Structure 1
Amino acid sequence: MPRPVCPRCCRPLGHCLCSLIPSLPSRTRVLILQHPDEVRHALNTARLAALGLQNAELKIGEHFPDLPHWLSDEYRACLLFPGDGAQTLPLSDGEDSRPLLLVVPDGTWRKARKLIYLNPLLAGLPRVSLPVGLPSRYRLRKAPGEVALATIEAIVAALELQEAPARFDTLLRPFEALIDGQIEAMGSETFQRNHQR
C-alpha cells in the first residue's frame, strides 16, 4: 500500500516540506517547463520553486502548444539557458522597462535541450545565463561542468541578480532539508565515502 503523500508538496506526509516553503513576491515572472521524467525525481526542485514564488507557474510536458499564450506582452520573455549569445544576468532595463518573464526548462541538460528543440518558440527567445562558477548547495550531485545547479538554485540566483538587493534564499530551505534527509538516510559514512572531496 502506497504511503500517503501531501497533496501540495507531494512528499510523504511524515516528510512534508510545506512548513519550510515560503511565499515570496517577485517582479520577475517565472515559468518553469518541466520534462515529464522529472516529476517523480526525489528532489523535484522545480515544484518547490513554483510553490515558493507567488509569481511563478509550473507546466509539465514535452510539447507546449499554449506557450504563445503564456508569453504575455506585459513581460520581456527570455530563456534561462546557457549558449551562444546568452546575456549574463542581470539585464538592464534599457528602453524596455517591462519586468522579465524567465522561462526555465527543468530536466537534465539533454532533456532541457530536447524541450527547446521540440518547442521552436523557446529556441527563438533571447537567452540569459548565470555568471560562471556559482557554487551549488546540492552536495549529492555528480553532474559535470561548472554550471550544474539544481533548478531551484538557478532560479534563486537569477532572481537575486535581477532584483538585487531583494533576497530569495529562503526558497532554498526545503531543498536543503531534502538534501539533509537524503544524507541522513544513507548514513554519514556512505556520504563521506562517495560525496566528500
Structure 2
Amino acid sequence: MYDERLAAATKPFNARGAKVTRCKSCQIAQQYCICEHQPQPSNDFAVLLLVSDAEILKPSNTGRLILDTVEEGYAFPWHRTETQPELLALLKDETYQPVIIFPEDYVDDKQRLIEPNRFETNESKKLLFILLDGSWREARRMFRKSVYLNQFPVCSIKPDALSNYMMRKSENEDHLATAEVASIVFEQFGSLRHSMILREWFAVFRESYMLSKTRLSPDLSRPALNNFIGLIKNENSL
C-alpha cells in the first residue's frame, strides 16, 4: 500500500522529517531500526485497518504496529467514491465477525453499540476489529461515508489515561494513537497479553522514532527497547 501510494504521488513527500533516511519497513531512522525485534504475532483476533490517504506515507503512523502483532492483519486505503472488491469480500467472509471501533457519541443508531463483556458471537467466527486509521477529522468522515460498514456492530472504548503519543499533536490531548486504541480493545476483549505486547511495542516505536528528533536530547540507552527485549526473553523462558 505504501509503495502504491508513493508511486501515485505527483510531488515528493516533503513533510517534517522527510530528510531522515528511514528503514522502509518500520519507518524509523535506519540507525535505530527496530525490525529485528518485532514480536511474535498473536492469533487471538484479526484486524482490518482502513487507512486515510493522508496517513499512508506518514512515518509516524502507528497502525502498522498493530499489524506487527497479529497473524491475520489487513490494510486497505480508504476512498470515498470507490471500494476495493477485496475489502468487500473480506467483510463478507463467514469466518469473521467484524466489529468497528469508534466513539459512541458519533453513532446515530445506538442499537449498534456493544459492550466487550456482553457481546456474544458464534464460536466459529473470529473477531475482526475494524480501525479507521487517520486524523480524528478524517476518521469521522470515513465512518460517515463508508456505507458498507453500516451493518456491523460498534464498540466504543473509554480510555482511563491520556495519550502517550508524542510524535504528533492532536487538537484534543485525550485523542489516542491508533495503536493505543487497539491495545485497549485487545484488553477489553480479554487478551491481556496481546494488549501488553502491543502497548510495549508502541513504546519502543515511540522511543526509537523520537531519537531522530534533533531538537531533543535523546536517551541513547533506549530503556523502552531494553524493557521490551527483557519482556520477550522472560516470556520465552517460561
TM-score (ref. length: structure 1):
0.79
% identical aligned pairs: 23
Which residue pairs with 2:65 in the alignment?
Answer: 48
Counterpart of 2:184 in structure 1 is 157
Report how far residue 111 of structure 1 moved. 0.7
| Paired residues of 2:98 and 2:152 also in contact (CA < 8 A) | yes
Distance verdict in 2 for CA 1:10–1:119, change over 3 Å = same
Q: Give 1:65's match in structure 2, choosing from 71, 84, 105.
A: 84
Taking the aligned partners of 1:146 and 1:5, their CA distance within structure 2 comes to 28
For 2:236, the equivalent position in structure 1 comes to: none
Contact conserved, 2:48 with 2:73, CA < 8 A, in 1?
yes
In the alignment, is residue 6 of structure 1 matched against residue 15 of structure 2? no
Q: Does 1:128 align with 2:151?
A: no
Report if aligned partners of 2:41, 2:68 keep a CA contact under 8 Å in 1: no
Superposed displacement of residue 120, structure 1 = 0.6
Structure 2 Cα separation of the partners of residues 6 and 49 of structure 1: 18
Structure 2 residue identity aligned to 1:64: T
The match for 1:179 among 199, 206, 212 is: 206
CA distance in 2, matches of 1:16, 1:125: 38
Aligned counterpart for 1:166 among listed residues 168, 193, 210? 193
Q: Which of 142, 146, 162 lines up with 1:119 in the alignment? A: 146
Kept in 1: contact 2:60–2:167 (CA 8 A): no
* 2-structure distance, mates of 1:12, 1:91: 43
Query: Gapped runs of 5+ residues in structure 1?
Result: 189-197
The answer (yes or no) to whether the contact 1:133–1:147 under 8 Å persists in 2 is no
CA contact (8 A) 2:46 2:73 kept: yes
CA pair 132-179 structure 1, distance change in 2 beyond 3 A: closer
Distance 1:78 1:58 in 2: 15
Larger radius of gyration: 2
Contact 2:50 2:131 in 1 (8 A): yes
Q: The residue matched to 2:67 in structure 1 has which SS?
A: helix
**TM-score where L is the length of structure 2:** 0.67
